[in-house]
Structure 1
Amino acid sequence: MSVVALIIIGAAAGFLATRLMRIEADIPTTMLIGIIGALVGGLVLRTLLAVMGWLSGFVGAVLGALLIIWLWQTYIRR
């Protein structure tokens, strides 16, 4: 993402965040809040997606193993 886009999105996000939190801030502070928030939020989101990706793979593996055990007990070991 370009720096200009980051500043525009950061300014919009900072404006929305300051209004939701009912904080009065000048324009540079609002932009700084938004830009830092975008960086922190992006880092947290990437971390969560990485963990959830690993976790979903683990859950899929457990479910697959449970299916194999059920099939083995139901059809093979009578």
Structure 2
Amino acid sequence: MTTVEIEYCVPCGFRERALDVERAILTALESDLDRVSLVMGDHGVFRVTVDGDPVYEKSEDEYDVDAIVRAVRKRL
């Protein structure tokens, strides 16, 4: 069972960014996933994990939707 979680900062206004990433992941990988979840957070967080392992962290990586999808695909 493969689960992708997208945790995003509510006060920072990252909801649209999270929805864009969710849409891109579902478009590219929907048949390979069991669940994609949005998780509300704070303190500037924007993190994407696959089965609990981080594949994107805002503090470490430049925001690029296509690169995030590639990182998720690679983890699968």
Which one has a bigger Cα radius of gyration? 1
Could you state the TM-score of these two structures normalised by the residue count of structure 2?
0.32
Could you state the TM-score of these two structures normalised by the residue count of structure 1?
0.32
By relative contact order (CA 8 Å, sep 6+), the higher-ranking structure is 2
Q: Normalized per residue, which structure has more strand?
A: 2
